[in-house]
Structure 1
Amino acid sequence: MATIKDVARQARVSVTTVSHVVNKTRFVSEEGRNRVEQAIRELGYVPSAVARSLQRSATNTLGMLIPNSSNPYFAEIVRGIEDRCFGAGYNLVLCNTDDEPRRQGMVLQVLAERRVDGLIVVSSGEDPALPELLAGLRMPTVMVDREIDTLPCDLVETAHMQGALLAVQHLTALGHRRIACIGGPAGVATADQRAEGWRMALAGLGLASAGLLQPGDFTSEGGYAAMHAILRQTPRPSAVFVANDLMAIGALCAAHECGVAVPDELSLVGFDDIELARFACPPLTTVAQPKQRIAAMAVDMLLERIEGRRQDVRKVVLQPELRVRASSAPYRESAA
């Protein structure tokens, strides 16, 4: 493999001159630059990213922490962030904590050792040590989707309670009055906020929520198990709000196994609007998160910090939208 000394020898210039051409750190005459660039092409020289990062104290690399790489919602967010990073000339190092808060510390250490310029973090539930860990890294950080109250850093997320209100208001407008909820993991801010939005919407209409919340874990298996529990209730709810689309797909499967027709006998509304939601059977009514805007804003806010264009903490809450499809329908007396 060609070295910088080989390039300097062939171009008949100093190693320092080659370095200035590669890193664009000082003016080099057009003739000298042309000789260096020609030598680089002929020798197939590839500059060392590690050496360049040490020289410039930057790696043009961002780190991202997500709780579950198998969840399509996070996959779609990551895709948007990668696209935005590429357009800005940055690489992305992705780490998955597999929904285990205790793994976050180890993963953050790995990212710090890779000398990333900044972090985009989706936290994994309650971890009292996380704020101190992030503060100790002393690098620009943007939280996505899940806020940590004790950590003064940038945040971009969706109005989760408002999204749940939209879902329940849609179901009540269709005439449903006994509306169950499949919630997310305990201690995860997004799950807590969506469940609270469901409760508030029912309470605002004088409808009961007691006994109608089934715990879930944001996986299709969790939604499947929770729906089986809901369908055993007497009287059975006529509609279910599910705190994410992945659980809603599992819930659809459970309803089908039990011979309960969706939406004729049971209406269902999810949350996230993952790509698979349109291809469920029936296509899933859901609350859409603006995933592309979340991704773009997370990267842009982080680059503002890295490049010194902003110092104040910024928190952005984006509004969700309801996507009405075929899994919800007007209440029918015989359905419940």
Structure 2
Amino acid sequence: MNQQIGGKNNKKKPTMKDVANRSGVALSTVSHVINGTAPITEEVKRRVNQSIQELHYIPNALARRLRQDRTHMIGIIVPDISNEFYSKTASTIIRHFSNDGYTTVMVDTGYSLKRMQKNVDTLIEQRIDGLIVLGGGNDEHILNHAAETGVKVLLADRHYEDYPSVEFQYQEYMDQTICYLHEKRFRKIGYISESLDMVNLQERYDGFIQAMKKYHVRINPDWIITDRWLQLEKMDSGKVVMQELIQKLEGYDMPEIIIASSDMIAIGIMDALQENGYHVPEDVGVIGIDDIALARYCRPSLTTIRQDYEVFGRKCYATLKRYMEHNLRQKHYYIPGKLVIRNSIRKL
């Protein structure tokens, strides 16, 4: 965490990221130079050490000493443990690490950066070897702080700069979905999502917009909603947001298809439509994302984009373990999603 130094200029304490930027190298390269954990060319060492001197950067020596002995403990950060995708992914990660003798500590931030900062600080104090951050966004200062102390950080369902990451191919599966709808001659397509603060939500939205443009489908701003309230209690809030949209449109010019950024929001949307006299999928079709268990059993069963939490969690485990134990850092790994057609859209 960047701390303010008192004084006339109130300057920020320089960080390892500042050294990396000044040297023109990756954050991990600075860490390797300081800790001697990988072969680095003399020219790069010279640039990094010069930047350290010029910025008066002081490495966290205590943290480095603590890092010399491994604890076989990892932390997992989730934004919302009630979200089935996050909970099942975390469960998969925990199971694999437990089989290898690791202790795992999972914390739920409730989408709060303040809570995330406090929890990460606590995990660092407990000397975790690795940290998996599921989802999230606008938290770069927290990630950098953890990395500076020697914690191996893995980002899951998102990416950021030179941190290793495992994520889904958002653009590809949004393209697949819009292509399918276009081929079935659906032309009135809406999108309802939580606010776009989280990286994965922003990329799903961007993928939707790019695909709509690619297939020349008109983008109607009345049918696109992003709302922070949808982050929690997704089914209830999805229902309310859809009711508000129905009232706004007054029954006219309704979309033929609504894509929701999660299955739980999609189920709330279907409930609102049915309560207001609309038939799903005859009047309005609904598509979710995640393929949670409930998607198969609600009525009508929900068409959704499947994100395989077992494959995803296993890849997170393998990538972080390799990074912690052998310092082998795969930059980005992408997992494909799959459109699963069920009964919530018309079969034209």
Per the TM superposition, whether the score is higher than 0.5 is yes
Does the alignment pair 1:127 with 2:145? no
SS at match of 2:326: coil
SS at match of 1:269: strand
CA 1:173–1:225: 2 relative to 1, 3 Å:
farther
Aligned counterparts, 1:274-313, within 5 A: 274-308=292-326, 310=328, 312-313=329-330
1:66–1:97 contact (8 Å) kept in structure 2: yes
Aligned to 1:213: 224
1:167–1:269 contact (8 Å) kept in structure 2: no
1:131–1:148 contact (8 Å) kept in structure 2: no
120-129 vs 282-291, greater mean Cα deviation: 120-129
1:63–1:118 contact (8 Å) kept in structure 2: yes
2:135–2:199 contact (8 Å) kept in structure 1: no
TM-score normalized by structure 1? 0.76
SS at match of 1:305: helix
Name the CA distance, whole Å, in 1 between partners of 2:266 and 2:321. 35
Q: Give CA deviations for 1:208-250 in whole Å, capped at 9, x if unaligned.
A: 1131211143422332233223334231111111111111111
Name the CA distance, whole Å, in 1 between partners of 2:321 and 2:140. 27
Does the alignment pair 1:256 with 2:266? no
- 1:330 positional shift: 3.9
Name the CA distance, whole Å, in 1 between partners of 2:200 and 2:327. 30
Q: Give CA deviations for 1:247-301 in whole Å, capped at 9, x if unaligned.
A: 1111111112112111111111111111221122111110011211111111111
Q: Which amino acid aligns with 2:130?
A: G
- 1:125 positional shift: 3.0
Does the alignment pair 1:222 with 2:232? no
CA 1:225–1:104: 2 relative to 1, 3 Å:
same
Counting matched residue pairs gives 275
Q: Give the unaligned 5+ runs of structure 2.
A: 1-65
Q: Give CA deviations for 1:78-108 in whole Å, capped at 9, x if unaligned.
A: 1111221122222211011001122211010
Q: Give CA deviations for 1:113-152 in whole Å, capped at 9, x if unaligned.
A: 2222211112433235223323233211111002223xx2
Does the alignment pair 1:96 with 2:108? yes
- 1:309 positional shift: 5.0
Aligned to 2:246: 231
Match of 1:57 among 59, 62, 69: 69
Name the CA distance, whole Å, in 2 between partners of 1:138 and 1:60. 14
Q: Give the unaligned 5+ runs of structure 1.
A: 1-53, 332-336
Aligned to 2:13: none
Aligned to 1:189: 199
Does the alignment pair 1:179 with 2:189? yes
Does the alignment pair 1:319 with 2:331? no
Aligned to 2:6: none
Aligned to 2:155: 143
280-289 vs 56-65, greater mean Cα deviation: 56-65
2:212–2:218 contact (8 Å) kept in structure 1: yes
Q: Which amino acid aligns with 2:91?
A: R
2:92–2:313 contact (8 Å) kept in structure 1: yes
Q: Give CA deviations for 1:291-326 in whole Å, capped at 9, x if unaligned.
A: 11111111111111221251x442101111111111
1:176–1:330 contact (8 Å) kept in structure 2: no
Q: CA RMSD in A?
A: 2.0
SS at match of 2:322: helix
Name the CA distance, whole Å, in 2 between partners of 1:185 and 1:248. 15
Name the CA distance, whole Å, in 2 between partners of 1:68 and 1:105. 15
CA 1:70–1:326: 2 relative to 1, 3 Å:
same
Name the CA distance, whole Å, in 2 between partners of 1:221 and 1:190. 22
Structure 1 runs of 4+ off > 4 angstroms? none
